[in-house]
Chain A
């Protein structure tokens, strides 16, 4: 395999990040917006691990950050699902365009 430098991995994580952002901005369903957020968090994890491995191999800071982020993402996903179900019960729809209560 050719020499894979850190730059390539960073390109990958950037692409993943911006795909997630696009999904966040474009999707109308709240659950798919949540999925896009998970993508963003994953791209960040890849970034941490790559930096740790290539630039600072003698300590494990990046690794730990990644583990913690995975834990936090799990918690946040749980709470988000709870909120979505609550909204579903009030509005009978999980379309984000229908939640216009903060309009002028």
Chain B
């Protein structure tokens, strides 16, 4: 993460995300792993690399932050990690190792379009609208900058 060359940072991100997908595979939730690879790796990382090219930063060396900032951030992060780890360690999780999860795609599809209490039809629709809004927003921002340019 702390390389000075931005392109290398993007590649490291790619490997991290693939690693997370591998973790999903190991946890036997293949559907999510697949989604992860398709969306994150194939979409977002590509987007990031495009933006690196667009802002002409690919070969440029990045500047390091000030020393004060590094030290304070490190202290804060370590304290936070220590606190959270302590909490997790001390907590007794009620592990239910009975049934296994049924994560076949049919089940997921049925559940997603189920409009009863345990269904996820409403969040599904909301997410669609959100994606629409994001698309429009991105286009508007891009258009505005086009208008200012000309």
Contact = CB atoms under 8 A, between A and B. Distances in A.
* A and B, direct touch (CB closer than 8 Å): yes
Contact of A28 (B63, B84, B130, B135): B63
Nearest to A64: B120
B100 interface: yes
Contacts of A67: 32, 35
Interface in A20-60: 21-23, 25-29, 31-32, 34-36, 38-39, 42, 45-46, 49-50, 52-60
Contact of B65 (A27, A34, A38, A64): A27
A38 B13 contact: yes
Contact of A73 (B44, B77, B148): B44
A5 interface: yes
Contact-size category for A: 35 or more
A34 B57 contact: no
Given A63-B31, A63-B32, A88-B55, A14 B137 contact: no
A54 B20 CA distance: 18
Given A54-B96, A86-B144, A25 B69 contact: yes
Given A75-B130, A86-B145, 6 more contacts: A19-B1, A21-B77, A60-B111, A63-B101, A82-B138, A85-B145
20 contacts: A10-B88, A14-B81, A25-B69, A28-B63, A38-B40, A42-B16, A45-B20, A52-B101, A53-B28, A54-B96, A55-B95, A55-B96, A57-B98, A64-B120, A68-B123, A70-B36, A78-B138, A79-B137, A81-B48, A89-B149
